[in-house]
């Protein structure tokens, strides 16, 4: 059984999650869906979004919410498909506790560990660098962190797609899955 890394990038409402879910379903392995939105902090509108995401996933998938420990989850679900949705929120959670270099190192170590555990890892991430320049230093710093993290994941990835208007644009790894 092989381990591979797939990165699905795109903007808001581009169809990233739906595309990642299609790829996960096609893998033919048990799926762990890591939802990286802290549900306990959700306002009513975000709670409705979370509920909609829950409803669109197959009921036989395992879902992990409010657990941001990617290596531990990969160890627990070795030889399975793990879908992380999304890297941007995962980074947001961890950037409160770690400096950028430590955070990127943690992410890279997680990618290597997933391969060692024969996890087929699918990562959904937002492409933040194509919008307006954030007006605050913190906003610019986070946008830059996300860009560096996306580049690093793409270097490790076997397959990378950019999702736009519900359509996948293949960036790396042969034909669209």
CATH number at 144 reads 3.40.50.300
Top-confidence residue, 175 or 76:
76
Has residue 156 been placed in a domain?
yes
Q: Can 79 be counted among the known catalytic residues?
A: no
Question: What's the whole-number mean pLDDT along residues 72-88?
Answer: 96
Structural contact between residues 103 and 95, judged by C-beta atoms closer than 8 angstroms: yes
Question: Based on the structure, what is the number of domains in the chain?
Answer: 1
Residue 66 in any domain: the answer is: yes
Question: Is the alpha carbon torsion for 94, 99, 104, 108 positive or negative?
Answer: negative
Q: Which residues span the domain enclosing 19? A: 5-132+140-172
Whole-number percent of the chain with pLDDT over 70: 98
- Does any domain span residue 101? yes
In this prediction, residue 77 carries a pLDDT of: 96
The one catalytic residue among 53, 77, 79, 94 = 53
78 alpha carbon, distance to own chain's centre: 17
Which residue's entry shows tokens 């560096």?
A: 148
pTM higher than 0.95, yes or no?
no
Q: Is 58 exposed, middle or buried (0-12, 13-18, 19+ CB in 10 A)?
A: exposed
Would you say how long the chain is, in residues? 177
Residue 177 inside a domain? The answer is no
Residue 172 has pLDDT above 60, yes or no: yes
Asked if pLDDT for residue 176 goes beyond 80, the answer is no
DSSP 30: -
Work out the pLDDT band at 56, boundaries 50, 70, 90. confident
| Whether pLDDT at 39 is above 90 | no
Whether 60 is covered by a domain: the verdict is: yes
Q: Which two tokens stand for residue 169?
A: 């644009």
């Amino acid at each position: 059984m092989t381990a591979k890394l797939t990165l699905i990038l795109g903007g808001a409402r581009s169809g990233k999650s739906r595309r990642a879910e299609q790829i996960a379903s096609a893998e033919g392995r048990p799926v762990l869906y890591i939802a990286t939105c802290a549900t306990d902090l959700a306002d009513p509108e975000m709670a409705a979004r979370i509920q909609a995401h829950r409803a669109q996933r197959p009921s036989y998938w395992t879902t992990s919410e409010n657990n941001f420990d990617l290596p531990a989850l990969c160890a627990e679900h070795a030889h399975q498909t793990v879908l992380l949705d999304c890297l941007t929120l995962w980074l947001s959670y961890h950037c409160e506790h770690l400096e950028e270099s430590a955070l990127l190192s943690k992410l890279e170590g997680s990618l290597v560990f997933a391969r060692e555990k024969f996890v087929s890892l699918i990562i959904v991430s937002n492409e933040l660098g194509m919008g307006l320049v954030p007006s605050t230093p913190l906003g610019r710093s986070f946008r830059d962190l996300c860009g560096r993290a996306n580049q690093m994941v793409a270097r490790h990835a076997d397959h990378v797609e950019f999702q736009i208007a519900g359509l996948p644009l293949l960036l790396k790894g042969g034909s669209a899955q």
